Chain A
Amino acid sequence: MQRYWTLGMVMLLVGCQRGLPTQGGAEVRIPGGSEHFAVQNIPNTLPVYSIPPSTRDAGTVAADASVFGVRGDVQEGQRFSSVHLGTSWFLAERKTGAEFYQDRDGLWGGMASQTGPGPDGAPLGPIAAAPDLAASRRMADAFLSAHAPTGLGSAVFYRENEMGESVSNALQPGMSESKITCREFQYKRSIDGLVLHGPASQISVFVGPAGKIVGYFSDWPTLIAGGAVELQGSSAALGGMKARIDHLNSLLVPGKRILSFRVDKVALGYVGYLNPDGSRDVIPTYAVLGQADHENGPRTEVIYLTAAPAAPIRDPEPPSPADPVQPPPPPLAR
């Protein structure tokens, strides 16, 4: 699950040139066969959804920013509408309507703007830490309950991430100081029990020192139902697994290609795609969780397969400076 996000971006990774893929393409292992992973009780059809580009106005941005205590004039930039107050700011992406909030002073326990006095003075005090996992989760859930997203679907807990800051001194290499300064709780959109992956389906609540909400991200636009598309069974979809991985490999540079993939779990869900004009499409998919043996090591990963032949799985859009929210840009590794 830690690698869930990589299913949409596996082909965007650029990596070290450590080897070449095996002849004949990737090996796919389905323990027990496709029928063993058959998804039961699937409907005959599911709707597809569309999401138009955002039309959020400055008044809405100001109102949403005020939820976090960020009050001020709305600055209209090329890509974002923004409101700044002190060391906090709130951004709304103009194209998609996705919202970002960050409070750096809260994140560092009131020390964001502190700098040390230099060699002649005393060092800074210790960095503040976030509450423990259980307490932080309660705070995030409570915040989400108080600011429940509207529209189709419900927010379901997805995973927790940590931001841990540490320091080690060369003279004492075996010792280090570490603090979890912030915990992120991610929620995804569930539509009638089917999880929507990718764009249009994430809320993150960042809990910092003293339980303060120090960050927030929401990509939760209104979904417009389109026509229904007929589903194929998961066994039939798994028949296309090898071709899908080979296709992904054709887009990856040597060094990070998938040599083999072992299927662990198959689930029906939705996946979203961002279009260049800022509109988005949401289509049914079979999300296949498994162990991917890449040329640079094993990973738990998800591969999307087509669930409705009339709405086939796409490749992730290439990164563009104009589309900063999704998909992620490629890493800079050699």
Chain B
Amino acid sequence: MRNDFVAVSLALVAVPSILWPAPASALSISTVGINLYSGNGGGAPNLVNSDADANNAGSKASSYGWNWAFANNDSNAWGGIYANSGYGGVNTQDMHYYSGHGNDLGPFLGDGASYSDCPNGGPCLTTVPPNYNWSLDRLKWIAANACEWLYDGITTNSPPNWSALSPWYHVFNPSDGNPNGSLHAVLAARSETWDVTGMGSGYMDATLGWQGESAGQGWFDTMWWQMYFYPHSPGVEPAVLDAYQSSTGADWFNESLKSPWPDPDCCGSVEYNYHWDWIGTPSF
């Protein structure tokens, strides 16, 4: 645990804490959805609703004035969208929404050629947390309707195993020296999730629409509705790993997507909070 303490007590470069201006231009979203895993080497069963879920997320965000920058589905979803070291993929937009299979390493894109991490003999871009440089540019929120991104080996309603989560700290780490951005939150699940069409669009309604919920609370409430209440699954455990600043008590879980807070490296040391919402009887 002491190692965790060192790892998460990143003393980031402080800049004067001033009133944060409203975004000058519309926020933007990118989406990836994968239904078809068979025929591409498999590795997981096909899904029914992921493509629609991702597209619904982008479409709904657009209806609230966001720019839907790019949408990759099935054959053009590959590891480089997530595991990159440049300014492509998820980093160029404010939010990324993924719908498909997942595990505690992040998105599972399939074992086959079309979803390969190493397409066309190019560099291998394995989707594992150490390869996720998500604090390079604009990306503030990455949201996943996928199983167990934030699974930490705990299958009860108990505090997290921070050691198991520690590989994910990297996604917040702006140690590249670029001051332009750092991730606010990973909105995902600790448990298995369910194949539904309305998670992404429901989240946009919850945060950008008439409900006006915070980034984290909207994620929890939408998952309650979409994956438990509405389809009558046995349960689900949404989880959010987000930036936290103990000096001010600011918890990026509570920010508004309508008027985002400054990036967490704005104004002092950044720590991490893990929020989880135990609903019914989740499966793992």
Assess the A163–B281 pair: CB atoms within 8 A: no
CB closest chain-A residue, reference B277: A165
What number of A residues sit within 8 Å (CB to CB) of B?
Answer: 62
B35 CB, nearest partner CB in chain A, Å: 11
Residues A331 and B192 in contact in the complex (CB < 8 Å), given A112-B213, A171-B8: yes
The answer to whether residues A333 and B101 also contact, given A118-B250, A119-B267, A173-B162 and a CB cut-off of 8 A, is yes
B39 to chain A, nearest CB (A): 16
B68 at the A/B interface (Cβ < 8 Å)? no
Q: Which of A240-264 contact B (CB under 8 A)?
A: 253
A112 contacts B273, CB within 8 Å? Answer: no
Number of interface residues of B (CB under 8 A): 84
Q: How far is the CA of A112 from the CA of B5 in the complex (A)?
A: 32
Q: Which of B21-29, B76-84, B232-240 contacts A (4 or more CB under 8 A)?
A: B232-240
Closest B residue, CB atoms, query A14? B45
CB distance from A39 to the nearest CB of B (A): 26
Which chain A residues (145-185) contact chain B, with CB distance < 8 Å?
Answer: 161-171, 173-176, 178, 184
The CA of A325 and the CA of B229, in the complex, are separated in Å by 9
User: Which of chain A's residues have a CB closer than 8 A to the CB of B271?
Assistant: 169-171
The answer, among A123, A161, A328, A333, for a CB contact under 8 Å with B249, is A123
User: How far does the alpha carbon of A253 sit from the alpha carbon of B20 in the complex, in Å?
Assistant: 50
| Stretch binding the partner chain, chosen from B114-122, B175-183, B220-228 | B220-228
Asked if A134 is an interface residue, CB under 8 A from chain B, the answer is: no
Whether the Cβ atoms of A119 and B248 lie closer than 8 Å is yes
Per-residue interface assignment for chain B, residues 21 to 57, with 1 indicating a CB less than 8 Å from any chain A CB and 0 otherwise: 0000000000000000000000111011110100000
**Interfacial chain A residues near B232, Cβ < 8 Å:** 5, 202, 217, 325-326, 328
Contact B246–A169 (Cβ < 8 Å): yes
B102 in contact (CB, < 8 A): yes
A75 close to B (CB within 8 Å): no
User: B17 contacts which chain A residues (CB < 8 A)?
Assistant: 119-120
| Residue A54 lies at the interface, judged by CB distance under 8 Å to chain B | no
Contact flag A169-B272 (CB < 8 Å), given A114-B214, A174-B159, A334-B147: yes
Q: How far is the CB of B283 from chain A (nearest CB, A)?
A: 7
Determine if A116 is an interface residue (Cβ-Cβ < 8 Å): yes
Question: Given known contacts A165-B275, A170-B273, A320-B48, is B233 in contact with A328 (CB within 8 Å)?
Answer: yes
Interface hits, A93-136 → B, CB 8 Å: 100, 102, 104, 107-108, 112-116, 118-124
Binds A, one of B59-67, B87-95, B132-140, B254-262: B254-262
A329 at the interface (CB under 8 A from B): yes
Asked whether, in the complex, the Cβ of A330 is within 8 Å of the Cβ of B47, the reply is yes
How far apart are the CA atoms of A3 and B280 in the complex, in Å?
10
Assess whether A215 is interfacial by the CB under 8 Å rule: yes
Chain A hits for B48, CB < 8 A: 319-321, 329-330
Question: Given A166-B278, A329-B49, is A113 in contact with B234 using a C-beta cutoff of 8 Å?
Answer: no
- CB of A163 within 8 A of CB of B279, answer yes
Q: Is the CB of B248 within 8 A of A107?
A: no
Partner of A166, one of B9, B47, B159: B159
Q: Closest approach, in angstroms, between the C-beta of B11 and any C-beta of chain A?
A: 13
Question: Could you tell me if A112 and B275 are in contact, using CB atoms closer than 8 angstroms?
Answer: no
**A67: CB under 8 A from chain B?**
no
Contact present for A6 and B224 (CB under 8 Å):
no
22 A-B interface contacts by CB (under 8 A) = A84-B210, A104-B213, A112-B217, A115-B256, A119-B268, A165-B275, A165-B277, A167-B276, A169-B246, A169-B272, A170-B8, A170-B169, A171-B271, A173-B4, A173-B160, A324-B196, A324-B230, A329-B233, A330-B45, A332-B146, A333-B103, A334-B108
Q: Which 7 A-B pairs have the closest CB atoms?
A: A116-B254, A123-B249, A331-B192, A333-B147, A115-B256, A119-B250, A176-B159
B residues at A contact (CB < 8 Å): 1, 4-5, 8-9, 17, 19-20, 43-45, 47-50, 52, 100-103, 108, 145-148, 157, 159-160, 162, 165, 169, 192-197, 206, 210-215, 217, 220-221, 224-225, 229-235, 244-246, 248-251, 253-256, 261-262, 266-268, 271-281, 283
